[in-house]
Structure 1
């Protein structure tokens, strides 16, 4: 599957500010960057640094005034796909060291508060079958509704409200998976089928010795996503983190089949 991406956004900075960007599709074995071009308006400083788990890159900028970013890319997705419901969980003592952090509660995913619910609702299932049931439960019980959550909304709040956007859905699935003892992390992606089109957030779970993308909104499938980056929760994968006051001007994201 080949995916074409065009992302553009503009912000104003009244004072000199440091900005961390993460918006480019990652060059990793499961996807090939066929071509890519990034235009960034003038900045006092521009530096690339590795992103979390060495998946993709972040960009440090030092900017003042209007900052414009335009990114275009063609990505060929070559991801190994599997029916997660058939995959076994990895015993704790056999988990690779790099997955252990994704068993723990994090800022937006308080998994320690959900152990009783997971036991009562999903205890009859194991491994990937349990994750698939969690995914289906979220899709059935939640309403996709922009504007009801903010960048501060946690999985606990989303669980109570039963509504939100992709980051909220992903946070809830990550939280439930960790409460069940399955390493889970967030992945920021470009994906076909997302409506309205935007940066998309999904969960990624570690089963049968590998990471597998899961979209609890039901809008996108793993074979039609270009991964940008991963992290413990949304705080780690924001496309723009500003260490100064930023004024939003405009933004658009377009993803199409190549």
Structure 2
């Protein structure tokens, strides 16, 4: 599947301010970059650094005044897919080193508070079957409501409110997966059927890979139901939204505008 992406955003800084940007389609084996172009306002400092897990890049800039970003890309998604419900649970002692950190609590995902909840709600399930059950539970219990949450909203807040946007849906799935001792991480991405069009967020869980004895596989799961793994273009991954924001500022900035358009070729 080939996905075309057009995105732009602008922000203003009253004084020189360091910012970290992550907005480009990642160049990784599961998605081939056919075309890619990014334009940024000239800045006093601009440097690229690898993002988490070497998935995508971050751009560090020192900006002042109005700063504009434009990005376009065509991406061929070539991801190997598996039937989620058939994948088995890897116990923590069976995990390779890299996914272990995605069992821990993070800023927005306090999994230790959900252990009794997942055991009562999803008793009798494990591995991919539990993730599928969590996905269906969120779909039944939660309402997608733009404007219903803030950048401070945690998975616990979302659990109480039972509404939110894609980041909140991803956080609650990640939190319940970790509470089930399944490594889970946050994925910033593009996808064509997201409504309204915007940077999107999904979860990714680490389960047993039946094709590789003793190995594991990361599988994408969109709790909102708006994106499917074969059409998701990854931007980056992290413990939660704090790690993969398209704009992180180390000082006061004002977001002026943002547009995202994602289509199938």
- TM-score bracket, shorter-length normalisation: over 0.9
CA distance in 1, matches of 2:198, 2:252: 23
Distance 2:112 2:159 in 1: 14
| Partner-residue secondary structure (3-state), 2:219 | strand
Q: TM-score, normalised by structure 2?
A: 0.96
Query: Which of the numbers 229, 238, 258 marks the counterpart of 2:236?
Result: 229
Paired with 1:241 and 1:250, the residues of 2 have a C-alpha distance of 15
Query: Aligned runs of 1:7-18 on 2, under 5 Å?
Result: 7-18=7-18
TM-superposed deviation, 1:217: 0.4
Residues of 1 paired with 2:85 and 2:37: CA distance?
Answer: 38
- Looking at structure 1, the residues matched to 38 and 45 of structure 2 have their Cα atoms a distance apart, in angstroms, of 15
Partner residue of 1:219 out of 223, 226, 237: 226
Q: Is residue 97 of structure 2 the alignment partner of residue 117 of structure 1? A: no
- Gap runs ≥5 in structure 1: none
User: Partners of 1:66 and 1:72 in 2: how far apart?
Assistant: 20
| Residue matched to 1:108 | 108
Q: Which residue of 1 aligns with 2:212?
A: none
Query: Over aligned residue pairs, what C-alpha RMSD do you find?
Result: 0.6
How far has the Cα of 1:148 moved from its partner? 1.2
2-structure distance, mates of 1:103, 1:247? 34
| TM-score computed with the length of structure 1 as normaliser | 0.99
Alpha-carbon distance in structure 1 between the residues aligned to 2:219 and 2:121: 23
Shift of 1:91: 2.1
Structure 1 match to 2:68: 68
Query: Displaced runs of 4+ in structure 1, greater than 3 A?
Result: none
Segments of 5+ residues of structure 2 without an aligned counterpart are: 209-215
Which residue is 1:205 aligned to? 205
Give the Cα separation in 2 of the matches to 1:126 and 1:243. 41
Per the alignment, residue 159 of structure 2 pairs with 159
Matches of 1:88 and 1:176, distance apart in 2: 17
Aligned length: 258
User: Whole-Å Cα distance in 2 between the matches of residues 11 and 56 of structure 1?
Assistant: 22
Give the drift of 1:257. 0.4
Aligned-residue offset at 1:96: 1.0
In 1, Cα distance between equivalents of 2:91 and 2:115: 18
- The C-alpha deviation readout for 1:180-199, integer Å capped at 9, x for no partner, is 01000000000111000000
The corresponding residue for 2:150 is: 150
- Distance in 2, matches of 1:131 and 1:97, equals 22
